[in-house]
Every structure is written in structure tokens, then in C-alpha cells.
Amino acid sequence: MNSLEIHTTSRQLAALLWRQHTVYRERGGSAVIRGEHVGKWISLTARGTGHVHIRAGRLLDGGTSAPARAETTAPFDGNITELAAHCRALLLETVDTTTGTAPADPATPAHGQRPLRSGNRGSITLALACSAVALGLFLAAMGGVLG
């Protein structure tokens, strides 16, 4: 995987993670996805054949990026939903250590928008991430059976 593939993949991934996002390329070839409305960012860097290094962090007041709070290296075979599950798991680890909560509540509506209504967003996010991984594994297994 090269930096162009990382940038293309990050655009697809951004659409799965957040409706409102900004994607840009860093000088070293990494791609960064910023979710201003949730106060978090994700960075993807190619690591050899079939692997991607994922880092996640918070956005500080004024829009600057805080250092990464969580990171991992994950296999990547083109399955965006599995990559999104890895990213969501890291994003759950990026809570504000001073308050124990995320810096921006994703259920808080932007001006002129209706609020989201959900009971426990953390549990829902985890359930969706697990479902995405299970679906990816199922499709991979079916590809082996059918192919």
C-alpha cells in the first residue's frame, strides 16, 4: 500500500466514520481524517504490504491536534468496514482524561440541526464495530467457499 492508496482509502473511511469530516495528506504520506464536530482525528500510514498504522487523538480548542491517545497497526486487504471497526475502537480510547468524557458530544446538534437521540452511544458504536468485523469475516469466508 502506498500513500496514494492510503489517501483514497481514507476518503472512503471518512464517509463511514463521520458525516462531517475533513481529509488531508501530511508531508510524510499519511492521511488524516478530522471530525471537528466530535473533536477527534484519525491518521493512517502505510506500513509494508497489507498493513496500515492507525493513530487516533483529540482536537483541542482552536482546532489544533493533540498528540495521539491510541494507536495500532492493523492488516488491510481492502476491507473498509474492517478498517473502520479498528478506527472506531481507537476512537473510543480517546476520551478526555481530565473529565473522563469525550471533548464534544456527538449528539449535541450543530446550529439548525435536530439532536440525535440514543441511549448509550458507546455501546451502540461497539456493537456496530463488532458487526462490521463479523460481516467482513463472513464475506471473506464466503469468498473462499464460493471462489
Q: What is the 3-state secondary structure (H, E, C) of the chain?
A: CCHHHHHHHHHHHHHHHCCCCEEEECCCCCEEEEECCCCEEEEEEECCCCEEEEEEEEECCCCCECCCCEEEEEECCCCHHHHHHHHHHHHHCCCECCCCECCCCCCCCCCCCCCCCCCCHHHHHHHHHHHHHHHHHHHHHHHHHHC
- pLDDT tens column, 63-107: 778 888 889 999 888 899 999 999 999 998 886 554 444 444 444
- pLDDT tens column, 4-44: 788 889 999 999 999 899 999 888 889 999 998 899 999 99
| pTM listed for this prediction | 0.62
